[in-house]
């Protein structure tokens, strides 16, 4: 980065821009969640909405009447955990633990918050939960290897010349072994986490991340690993990847979503499908068992 700044200072803007572009292709950009969310490019979450329907995509991302994006408490807590795990030095600078009694309305808390107004104040229970999650991940033998010498929290942006669509990804961890993503969950055991992975279509995230990263950087990663960490005691940590056949199927769905997006954006038409009354087919694992 010093070289780039020196070139800019010397007025060599074209050379600086070329080096900066090459740098971003490999190392990505370290940007805030808000900046990333506000960028117009197609992300994994937009792909998922397109797969629901073009109308869902429009209502969530284009409708002028849509609510302004605001991070939920769960999202904020997830960000805190990510910082603690991936950037522990930054966590110590950004957060402080309040060990007093009572809630945030008490005089003692307000005085403590004022004294530490340059930091985010967390109550002792919140603070400890984050540290327990961090320690569980950092002490897990598999996660430890995935984290080693990695790049953390990097965003990548692609103006894809093949289809004319701008795309983006944000990756938790990029190491020699894999691209990895930290997922907090209620239960990290394989049977339960498979349900979460299916419910939230995490294989779409995996395939999209692997392919966009390779297209931008020119570096092929064979594995996308989910580091599942329980958000409550006992904070179990297990790591999972995906079958190639599932990743390839996800790529077919991603291609379908991108074609739908291109059609809708070119015509500026997002149709809503109306259905009659439909009969629910309860998933096998949730069906009631016969009595007797």
Domains of the chain in sequence order: 30-69+141-271 (3.90.320.10), 71-139 (no CATH)
> Radius of gyration of the chain from Cα atoms?
22
CB distance 103 to 129 below 8 Å: no
Nearest CA among 30, 25, 6 for reference residue 16: 6
The candidate with the shortest Cα–Cα distance to 54, out of 276, 255, 201, 273, is 273
CA distance 229 to 188: 6
The C-alpha torsion from 226 through 254 and 58 to 201, rounded to 10°, is: -30
Question: Which residues does 81 contact at the CB level (< 8 Å), separation at least 6?
Answer: 130, 133, 134, 182, 184, 229, 231
Report the alpha-carbon distance of residue 206 to residue 246 in Å, rounded: 10
How far is Cα 172 from Cα 277, in angstroms, rounded to an integer? 42
* Paired residues of 179 in beta bridges: 174, 224
Nearest to 167 by CA among 182, 151, 155, 180: 155
Task: Render each residue's pLDDT in the chain as its tens digit; 292 residues.
Answer: 454 344 345 453 444 344 445 546 666 888 888 899 889 999 999 999 999 999 999 999 999 999 987 778 888 888 899 999 999 889 999 999 999 887 888 888 888 889 998 999 999 999 999 999 999 999 999 999 999 999 999 999 999 999 999 999 999 999 999 999 999 999 999 999 999 999 999 999 999 999 999 999 999 999 999 999 999 999 999 999 999 999 999 999 999 999 999 999 999 999 998 989 999 999 888 899 888 6
At 105, give phi and psi (nearest 5°): -90, -10
List, in sequence order, every residue forming a beta bridge with 167; answer none if it has no partner: 42, 158
pTM, 2 dp: 0.87
Quick one: tokens of 18?
A: 């070329």
Tokens of 52: 């629901």
Whole-angstrom CA distances from 258 to 40, 64, 193, 194, 244 are 14, 22, 28, 26, 21
Nearest to 219 by CA among 66, 25, 4: 25
Alpha helices of 154-243 — where are they, by DSSP H? 190-199, 202-217
**Tokens 């050379």 — which residue?**
15
Kindly write down the DSSP assignment for every residue of 220-261, as one continuous string: ----EEEEEEESSTT--EEEE---HHHHHHHHHHHHHHHHHH
List the structure tokens of 76: 């904020």
Cβ neighbors of 160 (< 8 A, separation 6 or more) are: 166, 167, 215
């Amino acid at each position: 980065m010093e070289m780039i700044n020196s070139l800019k200072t010397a007025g060599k803007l074209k050379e600086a821009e070329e080096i900066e572009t090459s740098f971003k292709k490999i190392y990505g950009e370290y940007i805030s969640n808000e900046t990333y969310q506000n960028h117009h490019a197609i992300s994994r979450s937009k792909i998922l909405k397109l797969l629901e329907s073009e109308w869902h995509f429009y209502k969530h991302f284009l409708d002028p009447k849509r609510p302004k994006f605001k991070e939920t408490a769960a999202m904020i807590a997830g960000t805190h955990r990510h910082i603690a795990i991936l950037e522990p030095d930054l966590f110590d600078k950004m957060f402080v633990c309040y060990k007093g009694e009572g809630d945030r309305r008490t005089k003692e808390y307000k005085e403590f918050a004022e004294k530490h107004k340059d930091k985010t104040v967390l109550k002792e229970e919140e603070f400890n939960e984050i540290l327990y999650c961090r320690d569980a991940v950092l002490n897990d033998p598999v996660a430890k290897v995935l984290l080693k010498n990695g790049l953390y929290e990097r965003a990548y942006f692609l103006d894809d010349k093949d289809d004319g669509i701008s795309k983006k990804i944000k990756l938790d961890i990029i190491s020699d072994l894999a691209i990895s993503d930290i997922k907090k969950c209620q239960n990290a055991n394989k049977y339960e986490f498979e349900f979460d992975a299916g419910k939230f279509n995490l294989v779409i995230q995996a395939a999209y991340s692997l392919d966009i990263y390779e297209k931008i950087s020119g570096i092929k990663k064979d594995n996308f690993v989910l580091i599942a960490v329980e958000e409550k005691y006992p904070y179990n940590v297990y790591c999972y990847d995906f079958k190639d056949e599932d990743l390839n199927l996800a790529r077919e769905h991603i291609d379908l979503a991108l074609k739908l997006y291109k059609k809708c954006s070119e015509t500026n038409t997002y149709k809503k499908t109306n259905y009659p009354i439909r009969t629910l087919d309860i998933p096998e694992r949730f069906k009631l068992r016969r009595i007797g």
